[in-house]
Amino acid sequence: MVFDFAPVITYFPTLLKGVGVGSLVAIAVALMSIIGGLVVAVISIYTKKVVSWPLRFFIWLFMTTPLLLQLYFLYFGLGEWILIPAIVVGILGLGFHYMAYNADIFIATIKSVSDGQYEASRSLGFGHWNTILYIIVPQAFIRSIPQLGNNMILMVKDTSVLSAIGVAELVYASQYAISVSFRPFEFFMVIALMYYVINILMELGQAWLERRTAYRR
Amino acid sequence: MSTEQSTDTPMVEVRNVHKRFGDLEVLKGINLTVNRGKIISIIGPSGSGKSTLLRSVNHLEVIDEGAILLDGVQVNRPDMKGLAFERHINNIRQNMGMVFQHFNLFPHLSTIDNVTLAPRKLKGMDKKTARELGMEQLERVGLAEKADVFPNWLSGGQKQRVAIARALAMKPKVMLFDEATSALDPELVEEVNRVMRSLAEEHMTMLIVTHEMSFARDVSDWALFMDGGVVVEECTPDKLFSNPDQERTRNFLQKHLGNNH
């Protein structure tokens, strides 16, 4: 077997563009799923069932069905009535999916902040919602960083699934190059390596954040 | 609370307060008056209701009957509901400093931010003024050099002193201490007691629930012994600790002082 990496080099700019699109999606999804997950967690812990239960049901739907099915449903299913650009569907689909998982983390960490913290804040004169905002949520967020980091690493890998609805991320970007070069092994090797590097960078970032916040727990 | 009450209005008044947890009545008609600049200590066995009483004063426990007044303003307001009551109680609490057994410092904030968060967010104080105020309070408890350190780096005694500074930063009319030294290693108790003594010298009005009998005796103007949800006996600390009238008080003190000395 002879390896030929020349086509990979030729099409490397295309692959890099794929990394760019994938990163853009990943950043948008990270923001949406972390902020959204926090909001969902706060609402489902601190509001009445009329508000929190429909939200929990919605989240539960995203946790119990496959990501690929969700993307097909949003893109092709809803596409019968409304055509949303693939990249937007990709961000929304992945965003809701990971919002559900992140909300689960935040629910656990919010509940882990002791009642004493709540009482101390109230005793100073902070109201219920100000206490949640200034005291409970920041502490819960710091405690969530390790698990959030894991989720976000999973999410970055899942951006590859968006190739199924035609989002031009890394895997999708390679498909044309493979179809003209007939070198799938080399391309997938290099792509795997690129994911590996991105992952290492993310793990380093997570470790750094954990170190920076360790003494604040 | 803007209008200053006349000086003979008691700072804290507890009138016929009842509190039940389910079928268990833990406060059975408590009356208590704390005058301006006075220090009152409450002692008693665990389960006597003394902590519940203190927590009721700033409404961390909701009482079932009776009234609690801070500087002539009623704290519990069964007639008020929802947001109106929330605003009312937040205002009241800004005038009461509370110190907890387990410190409850905010671990995500530095020492100085622990002290200045409430003045900044609740009184709209700018950062610079708040820092000056915060440093002043930290100096008062002898921890100015720890301003930018996080609570996890402090000893228990230091944590409790920061907690006191945090409460003082709101310029409270009264300080409530809920077994402030009970969770501390014996060698750390004294540094907290020293801070509390210095507050006493500044004529801070204080209501203290404590297990430290000798401290209570030294520092208080008036002392109460509680048991089974009632005030069994109240008098000057000298009399309470050396010559109490009630059998229950004598038994408690014998057991307690016997254990400690």
Q: What is the pLDDT of residues B151-177, one digit of tens each?
A: 999 999 999 999 999 999 999 999 999
Task: Note the pLDDT of residue B2.
Answer: 44
Query: What whole-number distance in Å separates Cα of residue B70 and Cα of residue B58?
Result: 9
Q: What pTM was estimated for this model as a whole?
A: 0.90
Confidence at residue B206, expressed as pLDDT on a 0 to 100 scale: 97
- Tell me how far apart the alpha carbons of residues B53 and B13 are, in angstroms, rounded to a whole number: 12
Q: Does B62 touch chain A (CB under 8 A)?
A: no
* pLDDT at residue B3 tops 60: no
Average per-residue pLDDT for chain B: 93
> From CA B208, how far away is CA B169, in angstroms rounded?
19
| B96 touches A at CB < 8 Å | yes
Mean pLDDT, residues A76-101 taken together: 92
Across the interface, whether the CB atoms of B106 and A139 are under 8 A apart is answered yes
* Cβ(A150)–Cβ(B115) below 8 Å: no
Model confidence band, residue A23 (pLDDT cutoffs 50, 70, 90): very high
pLDDT category at B5 given cuts 50, 70, 90 is low
Q: Which residues of B touch A217 (CB under 8 A)?
A: 107-108, 152
> Would you put residue A24 in left (φ > 0), alpha (ψ -120 to 50) or beta?
alpha
Q: What does the alpha-carbon distance between residue B76 and residue A139 come to, in Å, rounded to a whole number?
A: 31
Q: Give the pLDDT of residue B24.
A: 94
Residue B108 predicted with pLDDT over 90: yes
Interface test with A, best of B91, B108, B125, B166 (most A CBs within 10 A): B108
CB pairs under 8 A between A and B: 69
Quote the pLDDT of residue A177. Answer: 87
Average pLDDT over residues B100-119: 97
The predicted model gives A93-100 an average pLDDT of 94
Residue contact A130–B121, C-beta within 8 A: yes
A residues 20..79 contacting B (CB < 8 A): none
Residue with structure tokens 């500044």?
B202
pLDDT on residue A56 = 84
Interface mutation vs chain B, best among A124, A129, A143, A217, most B CBs within 10 Å = A124
ipTM of the complex: 0.93
* pLDDT higher than 70, residue B22: yes
Interchain pair B170, A124: CB under 8 A: yes
* Token couple for A141: 């967020």
Mark yes or no for CB contact A134/B117 under 8 Å: yes
Element (H, E) at B170: none
Q: CA A64: distance to chain centroid?
A: 17
Are B161 and B143 contacting, i.e. CB atoms less than 8 angstroms apart?
yes
Structural domains of chain A ordered from first start: 19-169 (1.10.3720.10)
Instruction: Inspect the interface and report whether the beta carbons of A120 and B106 lie closer than 8 Å.
Output: yes
Q: Compare CB distances from B93 to A117, A125, A215 and report the shortest one's residue.
A: A125
CA atoms within 13 A on the CB side of A85: 6
d(CA A146, CA A140): 12
Check whether B260 has a pLDDT greater than 70: no
